[in-house]
Amino acid sequence: TRVSGTSNGGGGGGGGDDYRQLVQFALSASSALKIQKGDITEWSVDGASDAIVNAANERMLGGGGVDGAIHRAAGPELRAACHDVPEVRPGVRCPTGEARITPAFRLPVSHVIHTVGPIYDVDRHPEDSLRSAYRSCLTLAKENNIMYIAFPAISCGVYGYPYAEAATVAISTVKEFAEDFKEVHLVLFLDELYNIWLEKARELL
């Protein structure tokens, strides 16, 4: 159910929502899924318990893509906080499909939830792993009383997950948590990805 084309939730730096092309779908009577273009490091909801998700790797000490952008914007304190996350085995702080939470430091949100999606061509069950990554983030967010959460397209960059298949996993998993959040945002950096995910949402919601 498409509810409307605009909203005042999320985003940073003021201005209207038009440039983000924000489209809103109802998940339940009191919650919405919002799809928009943009840079997730600028996303926040004023005065609310909010978090962004980082598409990290198992070491959890930064990297390229959205991970690099988040670490640059959060400042060196984020790397230190990640370093403090205990290793579950040598070099692994967050196994694929799991999630860990840290403060967000210089970012405008209160927390960063770090997750690790599958490397599409290497993982033997990429769909299960991707679903598990989304579920782990949403579960951890819920445990921390986060009401507003924004995801990037986990695994859709260097990890090579096909865009449409990833959208199906993301949207269907978010739907399972419809009652638990006020707003779930999908913040998509690339036009092509945004167009495909929006089409998928119209199909599934």
| Count of residues touching ligand AR6 (by CB under 6 A) | 25
Angle, helices 76-83 vs 65-74, to 10°: value is: 110
| Shortest Cβ 190–ligand AR6 spacing (Å) | 5
Q: Work out whether 80 is an interface residue with ligand AR6 (CB under 6 A).
A: no
For residues 50 to 69, the per-residue mask of contacts with ligand AR6, x marking binding by CB under 6 A and - elsewhere, is -----xxx-----xxxxx-x
Q: Catalytic residue at 67? A: yes
| Shortest Cβ 58–ligand AR6 spacing (Å) | 8
The one catalytic residue among 17, 67, 123, 180: 67
Q: What whole-number distance in Å separates Cα of residue 90 and Cα of residue 60?
A: 12
Any long-range contacts for 61-65 (C-beta under 8 Å, 24+ apart)?
61/93, 64/157, 64/158, 65/157, 65/158
Q: Work out whether 104 is an interface residue with ligand AR6 (CB under 6 A).
A: no
Pair of tokens at residue 130: 């991707």
User: Within 10 Å of residue 66's Cβ, how many Cβ atoms?
Assistant: 24
Q: Work out whether 152 is an interface residue with ligand AR6 (CB under 6 A).
A: yes
Q: Which amino acid is at 184?
A: V
Q: Work out whether 193 is an interface residue with ligand AR6 (CB under 6 A).
A: yes
Scan residues 1-40 and list those touching ligand AR6 (CB under 6 A).
39-40
Q: What whole-number distance in Å separates Cα of residue 88 and Cα of residue 64?
A: 23
Q: Work out whether 189 is an interface residue with ligand AR6 (CB under 6 A).
A: yes
| 13 vs 64 by CB, closer to ligand AR6 | 64
Q: Residues 72, 75, 80, 85: is their CA dihedral positive or negative?
A: negative
Catalytic residue numbers read 67
Residues in the site for ligand AR6, rule: CB under 6 A?
39-41, 55-57, 63-67, 69, 117, 152-159, 187, 189-190, 193
